[in-house]
């Protein structure tokens, strides 16, 4: 009888917890979904505006000065970006409410004037900030605060990028590598799906790609894809090192933030004159061409890496995820041409493989593959993602990530990302 009473009591408590998170996840999904949709619409608008008026890139240094001014006025000069959101989940570090409008406006300015950056990093900061604010308003304790931040991140990623399944998993997986925050599964699911439905209601649809010419899954093609995976793991390490070292040396040489961002903006303008506009903004058109047509300039991935390192190292905002997709897709396309296997398939596999390598998030990468490319090429995507996860080592985009378990053996290591 006592055992039965205990089970009944625990089940009652679980139902109360479910009810609580049903309410707050819906609230978070609605609020973040509306703001994320507005952000996505704004991004689409300014990207189209820049593409129609290429001269806007000459105002990138001015946009940079405005970004520095905004952050200074709101006392966020030392804001750590997505690293702060990750740290807030594991610690009691505070995400200020003013982070949301700051990252919104600064990312729009960056893209309007041709800075090479993504949008999902901004979305994670946007969602994390709003989630934190909701938790503070309703006086959540530390554990619930962690979950509501992840809810906000899921909702924003889902609304902005249109991959609700991957958006559920990403915050749960990316914080502590080797450990999943399953307590956030229901809240993140509700928040992500709610935000995605709001985005769809307002006509904001996520990216989808048609991957043609998927070859037969046999030993020869598996070997070729394995070679691609090893190369993508190496590329993910190089990309992370280039980003981190470029930022470090730029900050060392240009200590004044106004001078730093203006000079880096001017360098990006010069690079644009030299290499063209394909490398400004997110570069989704180039990604689409690589995946759907199998055509790309052989050095596109390297040029994009330089554009992105200077843009983000200088202090412009937006994030690294879509540039990562650009690198993976263009590099994979080139490798596919060299190896004699479908460049379109290799572009898709390379895109999610490099993403896995830099974020240390294999499950999220699998869901992204499924949502963006469909199921037909999944064996190939799985191979690339698995190998990239293992061989990319402990380097990552986000230094706040904690590597809890080794990638190569069941050993507790509990170290920060390099």
Structure confidence at residue 10 (pLDDT): 78
Q: Which CA distances in Å does 159 have to 139, 169, 365?
A: 26, 14, 18
Q: Give the torsion sign (CA, 32, 38, 41, 47).
A: negative
Closest CA to 363 of 197, 188, 141: 188
Residue 90: band (very low, low, confident or very high) from pLDDT cuts 50, 70, 90: low
**Count of Cβ atoms closer than 10 Å to residue 125 Cβ:** 29
Integer Cα distance of 75 and 238 in angstroms? 33
Integer Cα distance of 69 and 314 in angstroms? 14
Structure confidence at residue 92 (pLDDT): 66
Structure-model confidence comparison of residues 311 and 181, the more confident one: 311
Which segment of 59-73, 192-206, 394-408 scores lowest on mean pLDDT?
Answer: 394-408
Buried b (16+ CB within 10 A) or exposed e, 260-282: bbbbbbbbbbebbeebeebbbbb
Integer Cα distance of 249 and 260 in angstroms? 11
pLDDT over 90 (residue 206): no
Mean local confidence (pLDDT), 34-59: 95
Residue 217: band (very low, low, confident or very high) from pLDDT cuts 50, 70, 90: very high
CA dihedral 208, 49, 107, 331 (to 10 degrees): 50
Task: Write out pLDDT tens, residues 146-174.
Answer: 999 999 999 999 999 999 999 999 999 98
Task: Write out pLDDT tens, residues 254-264.
Answer: 999 999 999 99
pLDDT over 90 (residue 311): yes
Mean pLDDT, the chain, rounded, equals 92
Query: 128 near 153, Cβ under 8 Å?
Result: yes
The burial class, CB within 10 Å (0-12 / 13-18 / 19+), for 183 is middle
Phi/psi of residue 342, nearest 5 degrees: -35, 110
Q: Are strands 176-177 and 412-416 parallel, antiparallel or unpaired?
A: unpaired
Mean local confidence (pLDDT), 195-223: 93
**DSSP-derived 3-state class of residue 381:** helix
Q: What DSSP string describes 244-297?
A: HHHHHHHHHH--SHHHHHHHHHHHHHHHHHHH-GGGSS--HHHHHHHHHH----
Structure confidence at residue 353 (pLDDT): 97
Integer Cα distance of 85 and 83 in angstroms? 5
Q: For domain 219-416, which CATH number applies: 3.40.630.40, 1.10.3080.10, 1.10.240.10, 3.40.50.1970?
A: 1.10.3080.10
Structure-model confidence comparison of residues 93 and 47, the more confident one: 47
Structure confidence at residue 199 (pLDDT): 96
**Count of Cβ atoms closer than 10 Å to residue 16 Cβ:** 10
Q: Tell me what percent of the residues of the chain surpass a pLDDT of 70.
A: 96
Mean local confidence (pLDDT), 302-309: 97
Structure confidence at residue 77 (pLDDT): 67
Eight-state DSSP code of residue 175: S
CATH 1.10.3080.10 domain extents, the chain: 2-201, 219-416
Task: Write out pLDDT tens, residues 325-366.
Answer: 999 999 999 999 999 999 999 999 999 999 999 999 999 999
Residue 1: band (very low, low, confident or very high) from pLDDT cuts 50, 70, 90: low
CATH class of segment(s) 2-201? mainly alpha
Mean local confidence (pLDDT), 72-96: 73
Query: 56 near 114, Cβ under 8 Å?
Result: yes
pLDDT over 70 (residue 79): no
Separate counts of helices (H) and strands (E) for the chain: 16, 3
Mean local confidence (pLDDT), 141-145: 88
Phi/psi of residue 114, nearest 5 degrees: 90, 15
Structure confidence at residue 55 (pLDDT): 96
**DSSP-derived 3-state class of residue 405:** strand
Task: Write out pLDDT tens, residues 366-381.
Answer: 999 999 999 999 999 9
Mean local confidence (pLDDT), 115-143: 88
Model's pTM, two decimal places? 0.94
Query: 106 near 317, Cβ under 8 Å?
Result: yes
pLDDT over 90 (residue 85): no
Structure confidence at residue 224 (pLDDT): 97
Closest CA to 156 of 124, 188, 197, 194: 124
pLDDT over 80 (residue 97): no
Structure-model confidence comparison of residues 353 and 120, the more confident one: 353
User: Which residues are 402's β-sheet partners?
Assistant: 176, 416
Mean local confidence (pLDDT), 184-205: 96
R_g of the chain computed on alpha carbons = 21
């Amino acid at each position: 009888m006592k055992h039965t009473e205990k089970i009944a009591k625990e089940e009652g408590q679980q139902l109360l917890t479910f009810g609580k998170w049903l309410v707050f996840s819906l609230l978070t999904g609605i609020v973040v979904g509306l703001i994320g949709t507005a952000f996505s619409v704004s991004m689409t608008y300014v990207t189209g505006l820049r593409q129609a008026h290429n001269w806007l890139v000459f105002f990138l240094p001015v946009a940079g000065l405005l970004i520095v001014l905004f952050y200074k006025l709101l006392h966020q000069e030392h804001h750590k970006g997505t690293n702060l959101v990750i740290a807030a989940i594991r610690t009691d570090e505070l995400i200020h409410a003013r982070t949301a409008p700051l990252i919104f406006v600064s990312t729009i300015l960056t893209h309007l004037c041709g800075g090479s950056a993504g949008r999902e990093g901004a979305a994670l900061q946007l969602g994390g900030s709003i989630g934190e604010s909701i938790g503070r308003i309703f006086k959540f304790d530390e554990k619930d605060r962690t979950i509501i931040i992840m809810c906000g991140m899921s909702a924003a990623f889902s609304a902005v990028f249109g991959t609700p399944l991957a958006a559920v998993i990403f915050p749960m997986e990316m914080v502590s590598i080797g450990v999943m925050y399953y307590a956030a599964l229901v809240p993140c699911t509700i928040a992500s799906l709610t935000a995605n439905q709001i985005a769809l209601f307002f006509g904001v649809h996520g990216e989808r790609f048609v991957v043609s010419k998927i070859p037969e899954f046999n030993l020869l093609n598996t070997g070729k894809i394995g070679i691609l995976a090893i190369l993508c793991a190496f590329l993910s390490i190089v990309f992370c090192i280039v980003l981190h070292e470029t930022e470090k040396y730029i900050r060392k040489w240009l200590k004044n933030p106004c001078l730093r961002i203006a000079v880096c903006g001017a360098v990006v303008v010069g690079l644009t004159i030299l290499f063209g506009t394909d490398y400004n903004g997110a570069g989704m058109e180039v990604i689409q061409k690589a995946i759907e047509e199998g055509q790309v300039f052989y050095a596109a991935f390297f040029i994009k890496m330089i554009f992105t390192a200077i843009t983000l190292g200088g202090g412009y905002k937006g994030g690294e995820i879509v540039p990562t997709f650009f690198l993976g897709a263009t590099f994979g396309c080139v490798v596919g041409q060299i190896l004699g296997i479908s460049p379109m398939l290799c572009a898709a596999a390379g895109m999610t493989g490099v993403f896995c390598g830099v974020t240390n998030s294999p499950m999220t990468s699998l869901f992204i593959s499924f949502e963006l490319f469909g199921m037909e090429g999944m064996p190939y995507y799985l191979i690339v993602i698995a190998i990239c996860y293992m061989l990319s080592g402990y380097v990552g985009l986000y230094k706040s990530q904690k590597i809890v378990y080794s990638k190569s053996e069941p050993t507790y290591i509990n170290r920060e990302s390099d």
